[in-house]
Amino acid sequence: MKCRKCGQKAAVNMRHHKLALCKDHYLEWLPEQTERFIGKYRMFGREDKILVAVSGGKDSLSLWDLLIRLGYEADGLYIGLGIDGGTGYSGTSHDFALQFANQHHLTLHVVDVQMEVGQPIPVLAEISQRGHGKPCAVCGLTKRHVMNRIARDMGYSVLATGHNLDDEAAVLFGNTLNWSADFLLRQGPVLPEAAGLARKVKPLCRFYEREMAAYALLRGIEYIYEECPHAEGSTSIYYKGVLNRMENDHPGTKLNFYLRFLEARRQGLFAEKQATTTSLHPCLECGQPTTAPGRCSFCRMIERAVPASVSDFSSAT
C-alpha cells in the first residue's frame, strides 16, 4: 500500500478516510487535523494557558506532544491514583508521564490522591458506598474534582483531556442504550466554562484510538502499555469491542455515529432538556460548583469513606 501524498510505502491505513500515509506524512497530517478540530470546535486560542491531564498512556501523552508541537502553552497534570494491581500500575504510569515531561522540558504538576484524602482509589472504592464493586466511578469522580481544582487554583483557562473517538463513541453508545438524556446533553468536544468550572476540551475526539496509538509509536513516545487492572471486564471496553466489530464490517461506523450525534445535538435534539438544566452553586465544603444541595458528590463520598479527613482535605484546598 502506497502513501497517497508521496507514493512511498505507507505506514498507516485509515479505511474510514480511504487514506494511507507514510510515516512522515502521517506525522504531518495528524497535527494539521488536530489544529483543524481545535479551530472548528473553538476549543482554545494561542492566548490560553492549557492544562493537559496526563495519565502516562498513549492518548494523553500524544495530546501533550501535539499541543507543544503546534506551539500552544501547555503544562501537564498527573494524578497518582495509588493503583497497584500487582504490576505497580500507578507508579509506572507516573514514570512515563515524568519521563515525557523531562525529555521535553515541560512542567508537570503531580497530585497524589492518598496524600490528599488519606486513601488511594482502590481503598476509597472499597469503603465508599459509591465505589463499592466499581472503582471506576470513584476514580472518575476524583479525577474530575482534582483536575478542576488544579485548573482553577493555578490559573489555567482550559483543561484538555486525551479522549479519542473510540472513548467518545463508547460513552455515546452507552448513554444511548440507557437513554441518559442528561449525559447526552453534556457530551461533546467542548464543555464550556462556568462559574468555578474550567473549560474542558477534547482535541482528539475525532481520531480513532488506533490512529493515536500509531502516532505514539511513530513519534517514539513511550507510554504505559498495560491496562489499568480495574478496566478488565469494564462496560466501556465491552462497548468498544461491539463498535469495533461493526467498524470492521463497515468502516466509518464509529466516526459517523459520533459526528451525526453532534449534528443532531447542534440542531436542537436535546433543546427541551437544556431549558430545565439545574443551576450550579458552590459546595459548602470545597467551593467547587455542584448541583447537589450543600456539599458536592466528591466531598460527600470522602466524608463517608474517610470521615476524619474531610476537614483536612478542605483546608488543603
Partner 1 sequence: MVRLVLRGQVYEVRGGMTLLSALQKVGILPNTVIATRDGEMILEDEILRDGEEVRLVAVISGG
The contact set with partner 1 (CB under 8 A) reads 1, 10-13, 15, 20, 23, 57-59, 136, 163, 166-167, 170, 208-210, 212-214, 217-218, 225, 227-228, 230-232, 234, 236-237, 240-241, 244-245, 247-248
Strand partners, 50: 74, 158
Q: How far is the CB of 209 from partner 1 (least distance, A)?
A: 5
Smallest gap from Cβ 257 to partner 1, in A, equals 15
Residue closer to partner 1 by CB (options 247, 285) is: 247
DSSP string spanning 28-43?
HHHHHHHHHHHHHTT-
Residue 79 or 286 having the CB closest to partner 1: 79
Distance CA 217, CA 206 (A): 19
Residue 244 Cβ, how far from partner 1 at the closest point, in Å?
Answer: 6
Nearer to partner 1, 234 or 309 (CB): 234
User: CB of 81: closest distance to partner 1 in angstroms?
Assistant: 13
Helices (H) and strands (E) in the chain, counts: 14, 10
Cell numbers representing residue 282 in the block = 458552590
In the chain the first and final C-alpha atoms are separated, in Å, by 55
Residues 71 and 232: their CA atoms lie apart, in Å, by: 37
Nearer to partner 1, 208 or 261 (CB): 208
Cell of 244: 469495533
**Closest separation between CB of residue 204 and partner 1, Å?**
12
Backbone φ and ψ for 199, nearest 5 degrees, come out as -65, 130
Whichever of 181 and 217 has its CB closer to partner 1, that residue is 217
For residue 228, the minimal CB distance to partner 1 (Å) is 6
Q: Are strands 158-160 and 49-53 parallel, antiparallel or unpaired?
A: parallel
The least CB distance from residue 245 to partner 1, in Å, is: 7
Cα distances from 1 to residues 18, 56, 205, 278, in angstroms, run 12, 32, 27, 53
Residues 138/124, Cβ–Cβ less than 8 Å: yes
Strands (E), 153-275: 158-160, 190-191, 199-201
Q: Based on CB atoms, which residue is closest to partner 1, 61 or 306?
A: 61
- The smaller minimum CB distance to partner 1, of residues 65 and 247, is found at 247
